[in-house]
Amino acid sequence: MKKTLILIAGLAVLPAFGQEEIMPRPPKRPWVGGNELVRLIRDTRIGEPHHAKNLVVYPLFTSGRASDGYWTLDQALARRVLRITEKGEGNVPELLVENLAGEPIFLMAGEIVTGGKQNRVIAQDILLAPHSGPISLGVYCVEHGRWTAQTRYFGAEKEIAHNQLRQQLNDASNSQGRVWAEVARKASAVAAPAAASPTGYLGAALGDRDVKRKVDEYTRPISLPREANGMAVLTGGRVAGVEIFGDCETFAKLRDKLLRSYAVDAIESYGTDLGGRGRDVVVEFLRRAEDTRLVSKPSLGLGRLLGIEGAGLYGSVLVFHEQRGAHGVVHASIFPSSPVIQQPMPRPHPRRWPRE
């Protein structure tokens, strides 16, 4: 009798679904403790694309939109609450950084600091604690030919490192020699010989008048919604990278810098189209990102820095749960590990990807 009642109750529910096809639930994946990246991506919605030549930008949105609770590098330097100096007499891979404010300060991998004995690029995302005291900041040199003091305190370059160099910073096998080689390669690829810096400084190539004009041609037509938490960027039909922030305010402050870094690479690849499928490529990229694993990376700031590995992708996620945001994520950068578009991974019942 009980079985009969259960069957009747089940049949009574069926009409509520109408003619809509009911897909069986996909098998559960093994749970990875603390995998904030998976939860973040499954909460991500993809907006409508913005095109500029061979550059396509999709705004990304999450439900966890927090009010801004920390300052960026530019804000902190303008308010004189961030102090960056050489470590002792100078140490190429390290600087001393100190937060003098009562709020955390977010420093993004790829941002360039200028001064001291040579200009450097910040090696990884870090969230400095309020009144942090002096701590070591991991950096790479982007000015090969200078080791003489210019200023006691460092400032910030208007441009950040181009995206290919930002990707390289996330590579566990990266080295100072590889950074210098990439700086020289990019300067030769996008800037005229006359723009070359006598000290081999990356900023000289990025600040070249012709390069800036071309970058402006890419970024001017792109106007992302202010509610966006991040973006997926395609160059030549393939995903060049995905950036997702825990709040839209921080993304808005760093968006132009990031767009320009991707545009510098788009200049070099102009005329190359790998035949990508637009939004489908972004969907597949994000789905692959769900299959990556997270590994702890050393960080002296607030929260945890996690490296992204596997599924043909890599990058990093900075997580700080005390700061309200999209699943505790301050910033996630995800990059392809190969320039070739990988074939979609087979999935028995792919879920629909929500559209903004």
CA dihedral for 220, 121, 338, 286, sign (positive or negative):
negative
Q: Strand (E) positions, the chain?
A: 45-46, 50-52, 55-61, 71-72, 82-91, 94-99, 105-107, 112-114, 120-122, 126-128, 135-141, 155-156, 230-235, 238-245, 293-297, 304-310, 313-319, 329-336
Question: What integer pLDDT is reported at residue 274 of this predicted model?
Answer: 55
pLDDT tens for the chain, 356 residues: list them: 544 444 434 434 333 323 333 333 333 334 334 488 998 999 999 999 999 999 999 999 998 665 557 899 999 999 999 999 999 988 899 999 999 999 999 999 999 999 999 999 999 999 999 999 999 999 999 998 899 988 999 999 999 999 999 999 988 889 999 999 999 999 988 888 867 788 889 999 999 999 999 999 999 999 999 999 999 999 988 999 999 998 889 999 999 999 999 999 999 887 666 555 689 999 999 999 999 999 999 988 999 999 999 999 999 999 997 665 567 899 999 999 864 333 333 333 334 445 55
Q: Could you report how far apart the first and last alpha carbons of the chain are, in Å?
A: 48
Question: What integer pLDDT is reported at residue 63 of this predicted model?
Answer: 83
Question: What integer pLDDT is reported at residue 176 of this predicted model?
Answer: 94
Question: What integer pLDDT is reported at residue 3 of this predicted model?
Answer: 45
Give burial (CB, 10 Å; 0-12/13-18/19+) of 24: exposed
Question: What integer pLDDT is reported at residue 65 of this predicted model?
Answer: 60
Q: Fill in the DSSP letter of residue 158.
A: S
Question: What integer pLDDT is reported at residue 331 of this predicted model?
Answer: 94
Question: What integer pLDDT is reported at residue 41 of this predicted model?
Answer: 93
In sequence order, the 6+-apart residues with CB closer than 8 A to the CB of 275 are: 237
Residues in the chain: 356
Q: Fill in the DSSP letter of residue 57.
A: E
Question: What integer pLDDT is reported at residue 67 of this predicted model?
Answer: 56
CA pair distance 187, 37, nearest whole angstrom = 34
Question: What integer pLDDT is reported at residue 196 of this predicted model?
Answer: 76
CA 262 to chain centre: 11
CA separation (Å) from 224 to 53, 63, 246? 16, 17, 17
Give burial (CB, 10 Å; 0-12/13-18/19+) of 53: middle
CA pair distance 74, 97, nearest whole angstrom = 14
Question: What integer pLDDT is reported at residue 155 of this predicted model?
Answer: 96
Question: 56 - beta bridge partners?
Answer: 51, 234
